[in-house]
Amino acid sequence: MSFNDVINSEKPVLVDFSAEWCGPCKMMAPVLKDIAHKYEGKISVLKVDVDKNEAAARDYSIVSVPTLIIFKKGQILWRQSGALPLNALESVVEKYL
């Protein structure tokens, strides 16, 4: 399944644009794992390494990592750069379910 197939889903998709060398990205990993577990079946969580997927990073003008974007049916519903604590990200996710 391609990236475009995933973000065009009826179900919301939280995409984490990140990089291996990024400290805040590493801090987000357990938060995203918790989100994926808590909202299993309601939202998909996808990690995209900007160094390995330069085209996707360019297409969405990713200039800093982590950048989190929620897509639904190919449309961007929400976007933010920087790490977020679990409770803040849960509040955002709840709005788009």
pLDDT band at 75 (very low <50, low <70, confident <90, very high): very high
Q: Which residues touch 75 (CB under 8 Å, ≥6 apart)?
A: none
pLDDT band at 1 (very low <50, low <70, confident <90, very high): confident
The CATH number given to whatever domain includes residue 9 is: 3.40.30.10
Cβ 41 vs Cβ 12: under 8 Å: no
pLDDT band at 2 (very low <50, low <70, confident <90, very high): confident
Instruction: Write down the mean pLDDT value for the chain.
Output: 96
- Which residues belong to the active site? 22, 25
- Residue 80, domain extent: 3-92
Q: How many domains are there within the chain?
A: 1
Note whether residue 69 is domain-resident.
yes
Say how far apart CA 97 and CA 15 lie, in whole Å: 15
Note whether residue 97 is domain-resident.
no
Out of 2-6, 49-53, 88-92, least confident range: 2-6
Note the pLDDT of residue 59.
95
pLDDT in tens, 30-74: 999 999 999 999 999 999 999 999 999 999 999 999 999 999 999
What's the whole-number mean pLDDT along residues 6-15? 96
